[in-house]
Amino acid sequence: MAIPKKKLDRSAGTGAAVFRDTLYTSRILILADGRELAVVQGTVSAPAGDSLARDYLQQHPDFQPQE
């Protein structure tokens, strides 16, 4: 009997903003301060208090905010 895979809700309770990458399913983004954000399965998230990451993702044309 196959066990169904659980979907991870990356934004549940964390206040993180989740964005869909419209070009790639996997890549590493380098922020201005040298930190990395990983795109995994076509999505990337930024924590609630991380204004640098949120601004980067909101302004980049490859990323669309998800609800």
pLDDT tens digits for 18-61?
Answer: 999 999 999 999 999 999 999 999 999 999 899 999 999 999 99
Count of positions (residues) in the chain: 67
48 residue type, one letter: A
Q: Are 64 and 20 in contact (CB under 8 A)?
A: yes
Under DSSP, the state recorded for 1 is -
Residue indicated by tokens 């066990």: 3
- What confidence score (pLDDT) does residue 4 get? 59
Distance in angstroms (rounded) separating the CA atoms of residues 47 and 61: 20
pTM score: 0.75
- What confidence score (pLDDT) does residue 25 get? 97
- Higher-pLDDT residue of 8 and 59 is 59
**For residue 54, which phi and psi values (nearest 5 degrees)?**
-60, -45
